[in-house]
Amino acid sequence: MPTSPHLKTLHVTIIGGGPAGLMAGEVLSNAGIQVDLFDAMPTVGRKFLMAGKGGMNITHAEPFNQFLSRYGERQPELAPILTAFGPDHLRAWCDELGIETFIGSSNRVFPKDMKAAPLLRSWLPRLRERGVRFHMRHRWTGWDTNGALRFITADGERTVSADATLLALGGGSWPQLGSDGTWIAQLAEKNIPVAPLKPANCGFDIAWSEHLRTRFAGQPLKTIAISFTDLQGVKHHRHGECVITEHGIEGGLIYALSALLRDTIAAQGSATILIDLLPSHDLQRVIAEASHPRGSRSMSSHLQSRLNLRGAKAALLHECASKEALTDPAQLAHAIKALPLRLIATRPLVEAISSAGGVMFEALDDNLMVRTHPGLFCAGEMLDWEAPTGGYLITACLATGRAAGLGIHKWLHRE
């Protein structure tokens, strides 16, 4: 007698062992579906572990509407997904894994030990216990003529068939950790719409002098503020810190505005930001201190004495202020409070923390299934969305992985 379809073991193939793929594997294995997860790297979660090296920022505890706004133009598509699995759900999920979290002073949420490895060490055994099978060093190369998935392994090519497939292959940044964007070619063969990958949370090039490049590359600019007017005429203002690099500038304060800066450069050829080197001082105070008699002291010594302006900040002032401003106290004060920096290009995608672009939501249904290819789903950073650092990236990867897992389950059990 033929096996009843209701007794058939359903098989799902997940390609990509980052947060999105792992979360989808959890959802599906919990539902009794056999999951085989493939990844080109020797181990899973490599970018996840890298993200946790400086302190694992797992999500953000700001008001939810503000949290959603961080996803920019893709907020409408991500809102239902993040409503179903947002920061509070993520913290509860961590707690189930035995990972206690806390809210930092900036509302960023961290594991108590600040590391990613303990979370992964708790998560992977649970997935294996629930039947998820891991296949490492399997590089996906597309589909064969029969629609089976093709993989290159150390033992040659392997083909795999499944009842449904999830692609969770990451973006195009950090290729050394597996997110190399090579999947674009495979999706192009299937005519699946993909927005070009672009750097997100990235640094920018500035035409530094040789002196600044050689003397101050790697130096931080702490306790500053940045103002920037975007293409729509909206003015943005942020406090924080960033770093002078050999090529230009990078760091958290820059990453927060990187999407707007990138798009402005693409439209206009450059973007100018205004740096307030002393945001705790109002303009009148800076004018008064700069105008104070300095006797025989140099202006650099005078500014260090009166305003504690030194090091990289002082070097940046001399780099970007006009000669006239450096000799006139009023102009000098205005330069200190609004020093123009002209950004001329983004740094390459391979240097970015994350990437924008990817599989367009318009090509997917509400369950993250490709409309033209039933049974093929996508999740994680390979979707066309971006967000700043601060826990938003990991949260959305986990949330879209969960949504895709639920979508696959729903599709497999359709009438």
Taken in order of first residue, the domains within the chain and their CATH numbers are 11-200+355-412 (3.50.50.60), 204-346 (no CATH)
- Helices H / strands E in the chain, number of each: 16, 20
User: CA-to-CA distance for 339 and 352, rounded, in angstroms?
Assistant: 25
Distance from chain centroid for Cα 50: 12
User: CA-to-CA distance for 48 and 53, rounded, in angstroms?
Assistant: 9
User: Is residue 320 helix, strand or coil?
Assistant: helix
User: Is residue 165 helix, strand or coil?
Assistant: strand
Contacts of 160 (CB under 8 A, 6+ apart): 13, 36, 38, 148, 149, 151
Which residue type occupies 249?
A: I
User: CA-to-CA distance for 339 and 164, rounded, in angstroms?
Assistant: 55
Nearest partner of 359 among 382, 341, 340, judged by Cα = 382
User: CA-to-CA distance for 40 and 141, rounded, in angstroms?
Assistant: 10
Each residue's pLDDT tens digit, 297-322: 787 888 888 889 999 999 999 999 99
User: Is residue 396 helix, strand or coil?
Assistant: helix
**pTM reported for the whole predicted model:** 0.91
Question: Whole-angstrom distance between the N-terminal and C-terminal Cα of the chain?
Answer: 22
User: CA-to-CA distance for 73 and 384, rounded, in angstroms?
Assistant: 10
329-337 and 311-320 helices, crossing angle to 10°: 110
Q: What is the pLDDT along the chain (415 residues), one digit of tens a residue?
A: 344 445 578 999 999 999 999 999 999 999 999 999 999 999 999 888 887 677 889 999 999 999 999 999 999 999 999 999 999 999 999 999 999 999 998 899 999 999 999 999 999 999 999 999 999 999 999 999 999 999 999 999 999 999 999 999 999 988 888 889 999 999 999 999 999 999 999 999 999 999 999 999 999 999 999 999 999 999 999 999 999 999 999 999 999 999 999 999 999 999 999 999 999 999 999 999 888 887 777 878 888 888 899 999 999 999 999 988 888 889 999 999 999 999 999 999 999 999 999 999 999 999 999 999 999 999 999 999 999 999 999 999 999 999 999 999 999 998 6
Q: In sequence order, what E strands does 212-313 have? A: 220-229, 235-244, 248-250, 271-276
19 C-beta neighbours (distance < 10 Å), count: 33
C-alpha separations of 387 from 284, 384, 395 in Å: 37, 11, 10
Contacts of 183 (CB under 8 A, 6+ apart): 140, 167, 169, 382
Burial of 284 (0-12, 13-18, 19+ CB in 10 A): exposed
